[in-house]
């Protein structure tokens, strides 16, 4: 993390080693891949409470992500307050209504049809927690000086992926919700002007009657997503 007057390189011996023999590494990787295939984006949430400590632990995993120049250009706002969730839902549905009533082109709407999305966003109030992910356009030192952040979208994207993985590891489900624009969120969440909201993640337990779109289980085959040069 950038700190004025503290920009010298000091090597630190690798503090942790988790390496394993090749055969064990393969089993571990295959097991993890199988477990991650059980992760689903869920829109049907139970209102069953989740302890704050669980959410904090998942965010703690997320903020261990690598980032450009180690500037860590992110902030996560965890919201359980019903009134705040209601405000977010109302604003998000207003934007979604404009989207579905002409803001989106026919091709985009056709792509969304198999997903089953629409204007109504009950998950934003039913889920016990919302985590709003903010990206910091630039950083600010303790004395108010502005400094440049590097690879912000990439860094925040990695941290968000790690958050989603951590939530799954905790047995929770979530949804990646990206209303656009989200100009109402920084003020609502008490965040500064140089932070941009990039995602709202409802988090909770799945409802007893939760479902997912069948199309979501269709994944591209490996030969379409990976190339190998031995």
Q: State the residue for tokens 């990039």.
A: 198
Please say whether the beta carbons of 159 and 67 come within 8 A.
yes
What is the DSSP-derived secondary structure letter of residue 180?
S
The pLDDT score that the predictor gives to residue 161 is 98
Distance, in Å, from the CA atom of 208 to the CA atom of 42, rounded to the nearest integer, reads 12
The pLDDT score that the predictor gives to residue 4 is 66
Which ranges of the chain have pLDDT less than 50?
A: none
Domains, the chain: 41-208 (3.40.109.10)
What is the DSSP-derived secondary structure letter of residue 143?
T
The pLDDT score that the predictor gives to residue 39 is 97
Residue 78: helix, strand or coil by DSSP?
A: strand
Please say whether the beta carbons of 207 and 44 come within 8 A.
yes
Per-residue pLDDT reduced to its tens digit, 140-183: 988 889 999 999 999 999 999 999 999 999 999 999 999 777 88
Please say whether the beta carbons of 158 and 67 come within 8 A.
yes
The pLDDT score that the predictor gives to residue 196 is 95
pLDDT over 90, % of the chain: 79
The pLDDT score that the predictor gives to residue 99 is 84
Distance, in Å, from the CA atom of 43 to the CA atom of 224, rounded to the nearest integer, reads 28
The pLDDT score that the predictor gives to residue 3 is 64
List the beta strands (DSSP E) in the chain: 74-79, 129-136, 138-140, 146-148, 173-174, 195-204
Residue 28: helix, strand or coil by DSSP?
A: helix
Distance, in Å, from the CA atom of 25 to the CA atom of 36, rounded to the nearest integer, reads 16
Query: What are the backbone dihedrals phi and psi of residue 72, each rounded to the nearest 5 degrees, phi first?
Result: 50, 65
Count of helices and strands (H, E) across the chain:
8, 6
């Amino acid at each position: 993390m950038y700190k004025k007057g503290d920009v010298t390189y000091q090597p630190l011996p690798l503090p942790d080693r988790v390496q394993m023999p090749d055969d064990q590494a393969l089993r571990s990787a295959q097991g993890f891949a199988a477990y991650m295939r059980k992760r689903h984006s869920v829109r049907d949430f139970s209102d069953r409470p989740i302890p704050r400590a669980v959410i904090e632990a998942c965010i703690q995993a997320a903020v261990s992500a690598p980032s450009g120049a180690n500037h860590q250009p992110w902030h996560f706002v965890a919201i359980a307050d019903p009134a705040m969730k209601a405000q977010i839902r109302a604003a998000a549905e207003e934007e979604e209504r404009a989207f579905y009533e002409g803001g989106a082109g026919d091709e985009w709407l056709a792509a969304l049809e198999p997903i089953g999305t629409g204007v109504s966003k009950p998950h934003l109030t039913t889920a016990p927690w919302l985590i709003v992910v903010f990206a910091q356009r630039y950083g600010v030192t303790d004395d108010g000086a502005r400094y440049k952040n590097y690879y912000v979208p990439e860094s925040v994207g990695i941290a968000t992926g790690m958050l989603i993985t951590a939530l799954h590891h905790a047995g929770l489900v979530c949804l990646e919700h990206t209303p656009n624009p989200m100009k109402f969120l920084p003020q609502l969440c008490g965040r500064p002007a140089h932070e941009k909201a990039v995602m709202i993640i409802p988090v909770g337990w799945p409802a007893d009657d939760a479902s997912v779109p069948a199309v979501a289980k269709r994944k591209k085959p490996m030969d379409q997503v990976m190339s190998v040069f031995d």
